[in-house]
A and B are shown apart, each in its own frame.
Chain A
Amino acid sequence: NAGVTQTPKFQVLKTGQSMTLQCAQDMNHEYMSWYRQDPGMGLRLIHYSVGAGITDQGEVPNGYNVSRSTTEDFPLRLLSAAPSQTSVYFCASSLEGATEAFFGQGTRLTVV
């Protein structure tokens, strides 16, 4: 099992560009989520999904879109990148219910 796989690991964008961060899991987990990790701010929830076709906003959704067309994939789209979106992004998945969340290795994004 690969677990949770995020691509790319590193990315540099210019202000205004758009891109998609990929997240895939092979554990048949219903619940998937995206977080951003910033110094002093911890992990903040951007968007989450409780199953295919269902998504909802977290604490900091502005500037990001998600979709969940399959159980395995949960891509995060930056519509028009801004320097404030410079961060490390983590994708996580878990079975529905109070169980362990499995994290990807993270994507370090720099917007210049």
Chain B
Amino acid sequence: AQRVTQPEKLLSVFKGAPVELKCNYSYSGSPELFWYVQYSRQRLQLLLRHISRESIKGFTADLNKGETSFHLKKPFAQEEDSAMYYCALRGYQKVTFGTGTKLQVIP
């Protein structure tokens, strides 16, 4: 079975503060991990994937197989980062999403 856990439903930070959205996973094989973002009134879109090891909009995420985590980080939050963030795991034929974390950046 594959499972994704996002422990925080809501994360509120002030503009300019660091952000860390937590994601832990459970999967017996070698997972592919993703972060998706959903801005207000828009469709979900890919933010980043662990295999590309890139930084998108200032966000980064490192896959830690020992801790089975894939936390999303940004050093300085911006108001436009306010959105729903979903961690996702692609296992065998299925993509499983976490319950999502709403990030609220306070001006």
Is B44 at the interface (CB under 8 A from chain A)?
Answer: yes
Q: Which of these, A101, A104, A105, contacts B95 with CB under 8 Å?
A: A101
**Number of CB contacts from chain A to chain B under 8 A:** 50
Question: Closest Cβ of chain A: how far from B103's Cβ, in Å?
Answer: 15
* Dominant secondary structure of chain A at its interface with chain B: strand
Question: Which of B11-19, B57-65, B69-77, B86-94 faces chain A?
Answer: B86-94
Residues of chain B contacted by A94 (CB below 8 angstroms): 95
Q: Which of these, A42, A48, A59, A101, contacts B46 with CB under 8 Å?
A: A101
B67-107 Cβ-contact flags toward A at 8 Å (1 or 0):
00000000000000000001010100111111110000000
Give complex CA distance A60, B77 in Å: 35
Which residues of A does B touch, CB under 8 Å?
31, 33, 35, 40-45, 48, 50, 56, 58-59, 90, 92, 94, 98, 100-101, 103-106
Can you report 6 A-B residue pairs in the complex whose CB atoms are below 8 A from each other?
A: A45-B97, A50-B93, A90-B43, A90-B44, A103-B44, A105-B43
